[in-house]
Structure 1
Amino acid sequence: MSKQETIQCAVFGASGYSGVELAWLLHNHPVFSLTYAFSSSAREKAEPISVLYPQLAGRCEQLLQPWHSDLLPQLAQQVRVVFLALPHEASAELAPQLIAAGLVVFDLSGAFRLGDPKTHLSAYGFQQPKLAKKVPYGLAEFTQFSGDEPLIAVPGCYPTAAGLALRPLMPLLAPHSTPIVNAVSGVSGAGRKAALNTSFCEVSLQAYGVATHRHQPEMAQSIGRDVVFVPHLGNFKRGILATIYAELAEGVNEHTIADALEATYANHPLVRLVATPPKLQQVVGTPYCDIYFKVHGSQLILSVAIDNLLKGAAAQALQLANQYYGLTSATGLQPSPGAVV
């Protein structure tokens, strides 16, 4: 790809929280260009995205328009890359159509994350579409592309935090032990649609989806081992703070763990190894994942912080697109153009 070449992109679901963050990142990107932004709802008319998000007034006046299937030929002629920030079943229906039209798709939903169709059916409640090629699971720091993949599954927010912390350390854990992941997310993780149980006036710190959350099998798939996962909803807008407990193999110490993390992330600028337990405020509005660890006897304690809408969604999708097209992974993400929501 020449340095002058611009890659035209479209975002589906740009009216939602992750979608608008992605649209904003693409709007500021030096190589990717946002050509189309489609709403995830049946809006009656096209209007500037700043009508829905007034904070973008004067900064991004991209037209947010409804999607109609008869637009597909025009879309296929004008863009190369499509990002789907849609509900799971909507992505499952649309992605094969986009692939058939020759487009490269980065899907932020859970429609294609799980490799086992039975596990997917149990987690999401619908049949996973069968595609001609295996869909890569795009935990960005652990993903390499051949450049001809038609569809990439962008990981979920909780599994991103857990996977980045645990994957470098799996050989150091006690055999057959089960890591425990406790994580708290802000209310933006539930999406933009109004709901009583995610209203700031109703939300208290509370566990939910205990032993039933669909991100549990995704975490297990990512690290290659079962996990106990308990998500919590916090009374704040955005960010995830995860505390992870794991039993260490005999002879593993702090130096072994530090060496493994440093060796894994030395050339990955969006993962930061920090000396004190991270605060949400140091990652919210950024594309970073901050990881801290402590050893207590034979137990490993990890503290991980990400922005659920950026490193847990939009920024990781863009990071994967950068890698797919041979750009440095942090292109358009360092320095960050800032968050919208």
Structure 2
Amino acid sequence: MKAVRVGVIGGAGYVGGELLRLLSGHPAATIAAVTSRSHADRPVTDAHPHLRGLAGLRFAAELAPAGLDCVFLAGGHGEAMGRMTSLIERAGPACRIVDLSGDFRLRDASLYPVWYGREHSAPELLGSFVYGLSELNREAIRAATRVANPGCFATALSLALGPLASAGIAGRARITAVTGSSGSGVIPGAGTHHPTREGTLRAYKPLQHQHVPEVEALLDALAGKSSLRLSLVPVSGPLVRGIYAVCQVDIPEGMTEAELRDRYERAYAGAPFVRLGAAPPDLKTVVGSNHCDLHVSVRDGSAAVIAALDNLVKGAAGQAVQNMNLMLGLEEALGLDRPGAYP
């Protein structure tokens, strides 16, 4: 088996911790370095006490990428675009790069002020990144040297709606999606801190979440034309992990549930982490795993597609490792094919 050396930039947050957890159990990967400016020179276990197997690893302030096979960037939005040009130059052409922020998901630089509230500082690099949703863009990822990892909502919605777009179905997808508090990051805010979320539901960014344009761009690419448009209402839920998305779409008259299920089965026949169920998914069956569970129901010209996944794993770190595997010629599921914890 090919051995690979990896580095993680921004490893002190929840996504960084999940990357380290998954990579520490990956049979082909060695974690050569991990950085955190807030935790520089401190042991990794200061930020991630569950990773005692990495007790000898310490956070560095900066990463020296030379000689690494893959670098993951797990910092906040806006950080990767500021360091990417230098990182590419120092890493060299053989090093694969996976950015887990939103900085390189959109091809059109003019969309960043609209959806992320900032100008893009490296627009010349946008076209060099491949969108990293393995199940719907696998061959392009295999050939890529730089991948933009999808957002957590974007992963759930793209997997739920991709087969519809591929079938030529257009129109409006109306979505309500509940997410856990870990998606808000390790630093608590007044509206995101878990004690204020426990026991309640609260919608936020209705119809204006930043993951919408990346999903619409992917669906258009799958359809080869303008496809579904999203009306997304995200909801902060009283849970730590997970995304549960309910998507409703009008479908052509006469299309049956059996026909639609057949399309999903064929679309994901070679996808090790997408599971199509006969009943709506239970979020507890995917938390801690790299799986996305889907369910399809049809009645009176309307389809309901429900997706459940772990926002930190399939929605972030697990997808990133899956992309690394593809980019480096490893088995796609290597180090990831494990169940979550239940109940």
Kept in 2, the 8 Å contact 1:99–1:151? The answer is: no
In structure 1, runs of 5+ residues without a counterpart are none
User: Which residue is equivalent to 2:172?
Assistant: 178
User: Which residue is equivalent to 1:277?
Assistant: 280
Match of 2:73 among 68, 84, 89: 84
Match of 1:51 among 37, 46, 55: 46
Kept in 1, the 8 Å contact 2:179–2:242? The answer is: yes
User: Which residue is equivalent to 1:290?
Assistant: 293
Q: 1:276-325: CA deviations, max 9, x gaps?
A: 11111000001000000111210000111000000000000000111111
User: Which residue is equivalent to 1:252?
Assistant: 255
Equivalents in 1 of 2:169, 2:47: separation in Å?
Answer: 50
Equivalents in 1 of 2:270, 2:10: separation in Å?
Answer: 32
User: Which residue is equivalent to 1:208?
Assistant: 204
Report the AA paired with residue 79 of structure 2.
A
Q: 1:53-94: CA deviations, max 9, x gaps?
A: 22222x2225232323xx53xx313x1210010112111112
Mean Cα displacement is larger for which, 96-105 or 299-308? 96-105
Give the TM-score normalised by structure 2: 0.90
Q: In structure 2, do the counterparts of structure 1 residues 148 and 277 end up closer, same or farther at CA, with 3 Å as the change threshold?
A: closer
Per the TM alignment, residue 106 of structure 1 is displaced from its structure 2 partner at its CA by: 0.1
Kept in 2, the 8 Å contact 1:105–1:151? The answer is: yes
**Secondary structure of 1:326's partner?**
coil
**Secondary structure of 1:170's partner?**
helix
Equivalents in 2 of 1:63, 1:194: separation in Å?
Answer: 26
Per the TM alignment, residue 250 of structure 1 is displaced from its structure 2 partner at its CA by: 2.4
Equivalents in 2 of 1:201, 1:133: separation in Å?
Answer: 41
Kept in 1, the 8 Å contact 2:132–2:149? The answer is: yes
User: Which residue is equivalent to 1:192?
Assistant: 186
User: Which residue is equivalent to 1:26?
Assistant: 23
Q: In structure 2, do the counterparts of structure 1 residues 147 and 244 end up closer, same or farther at CA, with 3 Å as the change threshold?
A: closer
1:67 and 2:61 correspond: yes
Kept in 2, the 8 Å contact 1:239–1:305? The answer is: yes
1:149 and 2:139 correspond: no
Q: 1:139-193: CA deviations, max 9, x gaps?
A: 1112223756331000000010010011112254654x21111100000000001
Kept in 2, the 8 Å contact 1:179–1:244? The answer is: yes
1:93 and 2:90 correspond: no
Report the AA paired with residue 298 of structure 1.
G
Kept in 2, the 8 Å contact 1:156–1:313? The answer is: yes
Equivalents in 1 of 2:158, 2:45: separation in Å?
Answer: 35
Give the TM-score normalised by structure 1: 0.90
Kept in 1, the 8 Å contact 2:174–2:232? The answer is: yes
User: Which residue is equivalent to 2:311?
Assistant: 308
Kept in 1, the 8 Å contact 2:23–2:31? The answer is: yes
User: Which residue is equivalent to 1:140?
Assistant: 134
**Secondary structure of 2:15's partner?**
helix
Kept in 1, the 8 Å contact 2:33–2:60? The answer is: no
Report the AA paired with residue 213 of structure 1.
H
Kept in 2, the 8 Å contact 1:28–1:332? The answer is: yes
Kept in 2, the 8 Å contact 1:283–1:290? The answer is: yes
User: Which residue is equivalent to 2:223?
Assistant: none
Report the AA paired with residue 90 of structure 1.
E
In structure 2, runs of 5+ residues without a counterpart are 221-227
Per the TM alignment, residue 275 of structure 1 is displaced from its structure 2 partner at its CA by: 1.2
Kept in 2, the 8 Å contact 1:48–1:64? The answer is: yes
Equivalents in 2 of 1:295, 1:218: separation in Å?
Answer: 26
Equivalents in 1 of 2:322, 2:45: separation in Å?
Answer: 25
**Secondary structure of 2:175's partner?**
strand
Match of 2:218 among 222, 232, 236: 222
Equivalents in 2 of 1:171, 1:310: separation in Å?
Answer: 26
Match of 1:7 among 4, 8, 15: 4
**Secondary structure of 1:258's partner?**
helix
Report the AA paired with residue 178 of structure 2.
V
Give the RMSD, CA atoms, in angstroms. Answer: 1.8
Kept in 2, the 8 Å contact 1:186–1:235? The answer is: yes
